[in-house]
Chain A
Amino acid sequence: MPIQINKAVVGKESPPFVVTVERGRVKEFARAIGDPNPFYLDDRVGQASEWGDIIAPPTFLTTFRDGADSATFLRELGTDISRVLHGEQEFEIHRPIRPGETFLCRSRVVDVYEKTGRSGPMAFVVRETAVTDPTNEIVATIRHITVIRL
């Protein structure tokens, strides 16, 4: 018996959350990928660069999440983590991110649709997160598609 996904979440905005970028976390993220790029890892190279400090790898934006929110969100959808896969991911990046910066993240569900694939019926939940800096300039947009095996 397939589970039912709660489509009423479409349009729903999660409570905004604030992220402060930590220097050690930027470096550990690059190391976890196995990316030795000195612009991510070496403070002296960063200081001498056009950005004046190390910058974060492009996919570091994936760490901009509200930990408390995800289990609640899955419950609200009518599912749990064992059914969830990552379908697609997209970043629009307007400028690099440096340690010490603080950003405001606002996420909302933009679409929920169902499709039947090779492995059976699936629901796709599309979420967008707008990342802005303290001057209210958009820094990045994150688009995340979660796949739920029904």
Chain B
Amino acid sequence: MKYARVYAEDVRVGDELPPLVKGPIQQIQLTRYAGASGDFNPIHQDDEFARAAGMGGVFAHGMLSMGFVGQAITDWAGPAAIRKFGVRFAAIVRLKDTVTCRGRVLAKSSKDDVHLVDLEVWAENQRGEKVVTGKATVALPSRG
């Protein structure tokens, strides 16, 4: 079930998050993301500008892909679960690309009734190439 509550006791190291498939990326989504985020770099909107900049055409905001990965994490852990979330933008996401977001439990810890789970997270395109790699820490509720 989507948005089901995950409890710290039910999570095991090595568990995988349900994959989240986003896209295919369309120009209109990049335009909409520019407006929503305030990042109006023409490299994501204007093909001629992006070519002149040596990028071979427009590509998606890295932060859009990070937003996709964030969605995969919060779908699983809850909308306010993320304590730390860091990524590296490993490759460019182009128009028509499909982005699949994944994650895996690396470690668990509990201290003073706070239950933290460390995740390895990443996103890959339709060719299986990683476009985003990173880590996140989420706080989960306890059954106790």
> Which of A's residues lie within 8 Å of B, judged by CB?
25, 28-29, 31-35, 37-40, 51, 55, 57-59, 62-63, 65, 67, 81-96, 143, 149
B residues with CB within 8 A of A = 3, 22, 29, 32-33, 35-39, 41-43, 49, 52-54, 61-64, 66-68, 70-71, 73-75, 79-80, 82-89
B121 shortest CB reach to chain A, Å: 12
Beta-carbon contact of A58 and B85 below 8 Å = yes
- Is B38 within 8 A of A35, CB to CB? no
Could you pull out 8 A-B pairs where Cβ atoms are within 8 angstroms?
A: A32-B36, A34-B22, A58-B82, A59-B70, A81-B41, A81-B42, A88-B86, A89-B86
Q: From A35, A55, A81, A84, name the one whose CB has the most chain B CB atoms within 10 angstroms.
A: A35
A63 to B37, CA, bound (A): 5
What residues on B are CB-neighbors of A81 within 8 Å?
41-43
Contact partner of A143 (CB less than 8 A), chosen from B68, B70, B86, is: B86
* In the bound complex, CA of A84 to CA of B84 (Å): 25
Q: A59-B63, A59-B70 are in contact. Are A28 and B83 (CB under 8 A)?
A: no
Our count of residue pairs bridging A and B at CB distance below 8 angstroms stands at 112
Report whether over half of chain A's contact residues are helix, strand or loop; otherwise say mixed.
Answer: mixed
**In whole angstroms, what is the CA distance A34 to B71 when docked?**
9
Distance A57 CA – B36 CA, assembled complex (angstroms): 12
Tell me the minimal C-beta distance from A2 to chain B in angstroms. 14
Contact A57 B63 (CB under 8 A): no
- Give bound CA distance, A57 to B52, whole Å: 34
Residue pair A87, B53 in contact (C-beta under 8 Å):
no
B82 and chain A: residue at smallest CB distance: A58
Say which residue of B36, B61, B75, B84 sits within 8 Å of A93 (CB atoms). B84
B53 touches A83 (CB 8 A): yes
Separation of A58 and B22 alpha carbons in the complex (Å) = 18
Q: How far is the CA of A96 from the CA of B81 in the complex (A)?
A: 9
Known: A32-B29, A34-B29, A82-B53. A89 touches B71 (CB 8 A): no
Write out the residue numbers on chain B whose beta carbons fall within 8 Å of the beta carbon of A84: 41
A57: nearest residue on chain B (CB-CB)? B70
Point out the residues of chain B lying under 8 angstroms from A93, CB to CB. 82-85
Shortest CB-to-CB span from B73 to chain A, Å, is 8
Cβ contacts under 8 Å, A82 to chain B? 43, 49, 52-53
B60 shortest CB reach to chain A, Å: 11
Task: Across the interface, name the chain B residue whose C-beta is closest to A88.
Answer: B88
5 shortest A-B CB distances, which residue pairs? A90-B86, A32-B36, A33-B67, A86-B62, A39-B79
